[in-house]
Amino acid sequence: MTDDRQFHRLRERVAAWVEGPGERWAERIEETGEVPEELWSELRGLGFLRIPAPVAYGGHGLGFGRWMELMELFSRSHGSVRMIVHVVNGIWRAMDGHATEEQRKLFVVPSVTGEIRIAFALTEPGNGTGADITTSVERRGGTYYLSGRKHLITFGVRCDYYLLAARVDGTTGKEGTVALLVPRDAPGVTARETSRTMGVTGTDHASLAFDRTPVPVAHRLGAEGEGLDVFLGGFLTPSRISVAMSCVGLAARAQQLALAYAARRVTFGKALTQRQAIQFMLAENEADIEAARRLVLHAARRFEEGADDAAMQSSMAKMHAVTMLTDVTDRALQVHGGLGYWKSQPMERVYRDARAQRFEEGTNEVQKAVVFRELMRRDGGTVREGVR
């Protein structure tokens, strides 16, 4: 999709859905604590779960930068709506770069068209989210036998496959890591629902255990030793940019709510918008949101261009946007006064949903480590002394 008019029409459709049906879905999710299958079906029917995927796969073929503009709009909706749109529109990308033609037919294209649902399974309860993974496989002929545990796995209950990171038994570090597509109903798979969260209500999460689960070697993406490439480059770099833009969208929603409340709330005969302290809070919010938006869009362009600094840019964008979202939602809640603490106010939900962004796709401490590592790599591995 390259035509500007087509894109603007799509943007208007997304905005209208978020402000109309999306808000009604948000209310229903908060009331029931569940995301119904009808919401998935509606998002799929509207074409919202295949926007950046290639046209040849059944997608709209929208470029990554423009996709981020739409991601901002979706992120103004309920946290679970944003989560569905974010994950489904990104997981095909992680697979595609390492998939064979047969794997594209079996997994990549069906994930775009909605025939199958795939959950991203990297995080483990006793490790970080990188080369220290301990979930392992033992190969016998054409089959891997998978053992280990994963946790905090989004859509881990209702998926059809796990895109899972493991390592060949006996290996360490990046070497020997593999990316596998593991059937949800394979023997030896146990999925325990762990969906009671502070925010992003209704998104299912699972704790997973694998007891010598058989996985065909034909379900491996790429070669042995390339597992982390699938996860870190194929998924996490663009996903961190998407989460950063999610922060921008949610902050914009908080600002919208704060402005509306300040305009109608009267104290001592004056609207809050006439109080300089409130004016300064809202002005600071707007500047912070716009600065984060520009950084995220820059990171999106660098990723789209295949730039060497894409990983660093994505981590910088996510790190900055998360800090911005924390500050903006705190000020927006303060503008609401005590009323903002009540569940009757949309601001209360926004505040809870915002907290999840601080660890999704890695904490700020993880992002700082990535940025520093990339700085050292760019500098040839040495720290140059300054002029004394």
Specify whether the CB–CB gap between 111 and 118 falls below 8 A. Answer: yes
Tens digit of each residue's pLDDT (9 = 90 or more) over 209-251: 999 999 999 999 999 999 988 887 778 899 999 999 999 999 9
Q: Is the pLDDT of residue 386 over 80?
A: no
Average pLDDT along the chain = 93
Tokens representing 113? 């068209």
The tens digit of pLDDT for each residue in 271-295 reads 999 999 999 999 999 999 999 999 9
225-240 in b/e burial notation, b at 16+ Cβ within 10 A? bbbbbbbbbbbbbbbb
Assign a CATH topology to domain 229-377: Butyryl-CoA Dehydrogenase, subunit A; domain 3 (1.20.140)
Q: Please give the Cα distance from 315 to 311 (Å, whole number).
A: 6
Q: What is the pLDDT of residues 4-38, one digit of tens each?
A: 899 999 999 999 999 999 999 999 999 999 999 99
Secondary structure class of 292 (helix, strand, coil): helix
pLDDT per residue as tens digits for the range 322-358: 999 999 999 999 999 999 999 999 999 999 999 998 8
Per-residue pLDDT averaged across 189-198, rounded?
93
Q: Is the pTM of this model over 0.85?
A: yes
Q: Where in the chain is the domain with CATH 1.20.140.10?
A: 229-377
Residue 380 has pLDDT above 80, yes or no: no
Where do you find CATH 2.40.110.10 in the chain? 118-225
Mean pLDDT across the stretch 76-94?
Answer: 95
Q: Give the CATH superfamily of 118-225.
A: Butyryl-CoA Dehydrogenase, subunit A, domain 2 (2.40.110.10)
> Would you tell me the crossing angle of helices 346-356 and 310-336 to the nearest 10 degrees?
150
To the nearest whole percent, how much of the chain has pLDDT over 70? 97
Ranges assigned E (strand) in the chain: 118-121, 136-140, 143-154, 161-168, 177-183, 189-193, 205-216, 220-221, 266-267, 270-271
pLDDT band at residue 361, thresholds of 50, 70 and 90?
Answer: confident
Does the pLDDT at position 101 exceed 80?
A: yes
- pLDDT of 72-83, one tens digit each? 999 999 999 999
CATH label, 4-113, candidates 3.20.20.70, 1.10.540.10, 1.20.1530.20, 1.10.8.420: 1.10.540.10
